[in-house]
Amino acid sequence: MEFTPTGPSASRDDARAGDADPQGDDAARDAADALSALASEHRIAILRELAAADGPLSFSTLRERVGMRDTGRFNYHLGELRGRFVRERDGGYVLGHAGERVVLAAADLDPEGAAMLADGRTTEGGGDDACPVCGEVDCDRVIHVHLSGR
Residue 121: inside a domain? yes
Q: What is the pLDDT of residue 145?
A: 47
Domain that holds residue 132: 21-143
147 torsion bin: left (phi>0), alpha (psi -120 to 50), beta (else): beta
Residue 31: inside a domain? yes
Residue 148: inside a domain? no
Residue 11: inside a domain? no
Residue 4: inside a domain? no
Element (H, E) at 87: strand 86-89
Q: Per-residue confidence at 26, pLDDT binned at 50, 70, 90?
A: confident
Q: What is the pLDDT of residue 23?
A: 57
CATH code of the domain containing 99: 1.10.10
Task: With a cut of 80, say whether residue 1 has pLDDT above it.
Answer: no
What are the pLDDT digits (tens) for 47-106?
999 999 989 999 999 999 999 999 999 999 999 999 889 999 988 999 998 888 888 877
The strand pairing partners of 88, in sequence order, are: 93
Q: What is the pLDDT of residue 57?
A: 96
Residue 106: inside a domain? yes
Residue 13: inside a domain? no
- In the chain, the number of structural domains is 1
Q: What is the pLDDT of residue 103?
A: 84
Residue 9: inside a domain? no
56 Cβ neighbours under 8 A, 6+ residues apart: 89, 90, 91, 92, 93, 94
Q: What is the pLDDT of residue 55?
A: 92
